[in-house]
């Protein structure tokens, strides 16, 4: 059982990383920055880049953020291994592996994209360059995002206070496959793995 869970975790991480990187590299090398492809009215491929965390958020210096990501991925990897040894439910291992893979996917962008690609531009498509001659040094590469779901795109009624007459879009953030793996996994863990999460919380409390 433990061996099977370990192989499953490795397979999930590998598969997610391959899918994530294939999508990102295709977008970066086939679309200009800011270019948009309309799949439907509510699903679009829009090429943007960000320096921050998931959904384009930024709270830390880029170096600090990249190092934090690497430490977090290492800790999650260690935690998954420990949970497998403890005989934790397979569902929990699967969801943790998706979180690990998603975090690692965005780390790859930060670590290597700046070294191997030219800078993206609204006027031309990025291209591969000799290693180390890209647009940014190690750990300072930008994360590629592309999925945009404007499910609601409307103008708010003029009678509303403050926001009346303004454009309103839901869902506005642009994200990537790695972000979605993290977000969906966290939501599913909250719903289906509360026992495991409560145990993790208790262990943190005991260490304080």
Residues 86, 70: contact at Cβ < 8 Å? no
Give me the catalytic one of 20, 41, 145, 153. Answer: 145
Phi-psi domain of 178 (left: phi exceeds 0; alpha: psi -120 through 50; beta: other)? alpha
Give me the catalytic one of 38, 109, 153, 179. Answer: 179
Phi-psi domain of 94 (left: phi exceeds 0; alpha: psi -120 through 50; beta: other)? alpha
Counting every residue written for the chain, the total comes to 208
**Residue 148 structure tokens:** 């945009």
179 is annotated as an active-site residue: yes
DSSP SS3 for 13: helix
Give the Cα separation of 128 and 142 in Å (integer).
15
Give the Cα separation of 203 and 80 in Å (integer).
15
Catalytic residues: 145, 179
């Amino acid at each position: 059982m433990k061996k099977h869970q370990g192989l499953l975790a490795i397979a999930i991480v590998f598969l997610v990383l391959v899918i994530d990187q294939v999508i990102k590299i295709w977008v970066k090398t086939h679309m200009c920055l800011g270019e948009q492809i309309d799949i439907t009215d509510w699903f679009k491929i829009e090429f943007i880049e960000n320096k921050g965390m998931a959904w384009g958020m930024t709270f830390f210096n880029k170096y600090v953020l990249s190092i934090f990501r690497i430490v977090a991925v290492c800790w999650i990897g260690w935690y998954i291994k420990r949970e497998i040894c403890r005989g934790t439910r397979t569902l929990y291992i699967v969801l943790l592996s998706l979180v690990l893979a998603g975090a690692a996917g965005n780390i790859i962008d930060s670590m290597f994209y700046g070294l191997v690609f030219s800078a993206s531009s609204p006027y031309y498509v990025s291209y591969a360059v000799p290693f180390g001659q890209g647009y940014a040094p190690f750990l300072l590469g930008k994360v590629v995002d592309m999925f945009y779901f404007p499910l609601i795109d409307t103008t708010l009624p003029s009678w509303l206070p403050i926001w009346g007459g303004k454009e309103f879009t839901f869902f506005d953030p642009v994200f990537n496959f790695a972000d979605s793996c993290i977000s969906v996994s966290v939501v599913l863990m909250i719903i289906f793995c509360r026992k495991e999460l409560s145990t993790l919380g208790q262990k943190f409390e005991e260490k304080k």
